[in-house]
Amino acid sequence: MDPQTISVYDRSAEQIAEQHKVLVPTRIYQLVNKFFIKGEACADIGCGIGRDSAWLSKQGYAVVSIDASEGMLQQARQLNPNAYFIQDSLPLLKKQADSSFTNVLCSAVIMHLADDQIACAVTNLVRITAVDGVLIISFRGTNSKDHRENGKLYSVIKLDKLVSLFTQAGTRLLHSEIDYQGDRDLEWTNIVLKKLPPLAV
């Protein structure tokens, strides 16, 4: 993940936490309810303050919450003292074992990766997903000319290229959409993918 972006999250964790407490990603929760495999292990990649992890846990998922920012994880541990948090980051996800999650949520993370990290991130998101498991990926862009907002990187991610990377990594696209968030004037891209069994040789 972009080091400057992590630094911003670390420095501004308390302020960002206050913002995120009142934001409810209703559409992501709808996609989870429709596509995730109920009751199975779930990774929340880029968990932030643990808001979505807490919701997933209430839905019956066994959640592992992962974030690159220690500052955000400190906020998350205060808000959710009984949850399981790990400091780890894309593109490598070094601490996560192969095929260890049936469900993987990666919301508002991959746009914080540099262009040359995206393919590696896709490979590792698929790597940690179990066969027949489901991934939900959500990201947005920015209107800023330098692709940064308050110091945080927002890379330009082309949907067709991203889907192609996931397809090459062994998944099938189940759903894609553009979700316009009118109150914040933001356009989110959401995709849902299923990990396929390896091809027989």
Instruction: Choose the weakest-confidence range: 11-20, 46-55, 83-92, 187-196.
Output: 11-20
Give the pairing type, strands 129-140 and 101-107: parallel
CATH of the domain at 77: 3.40.50.150
Residue 75 belongs to some domain of the structure: yes
CA atoms 18, 19, 24, 25: torsion sign: negative
Q: How far is CA 167 from CA 65, 118, 135, in A?
A: 25, 14, 12
Residue 201 belongs to some domain of the structure: no
Q: How far apart are CA 112 and CA 114, in angstroms?
A: 7
Residue 44 belongs to some domain of the structure: yes
Q: How far apart are CA 7 and CA 102, in angstroms?
A: 31
- Residue 116's contacts (CB-CB under 8 Å, 6 or more residues apart) are none
pLDDT at 200 over 60: no
Domain interval for residue 70? 3-195
CA atoms 95, 66, 99, 157: torsion sign: negative
Residue 26 belongs to some domain of the structure: yes
- Apex CA 107: angle with CA 119 and CA 159, to 5°? 50
Task: Report residue 1 CA to chain centroid gap.
Answer: 12
pLDDT per residue as tens digits for the range 142-175: 888 899 999 999 999 999 999 999 999 999 999 9
Residue 200 belongs to some domain of the structure: no
pLDDT per residue as tens digits for the range 41-53: 999 999 999 999 9
pLDDT at 199 over 90: no
pLDDT per residue as tens digits for the range 63-115: 999 999 999 999 999 999 988 999 999 999 999 999 999 999 999 999 999 99
Number of domains in the chain: 1
Residue 170 belongs to some domain of the structure: yes
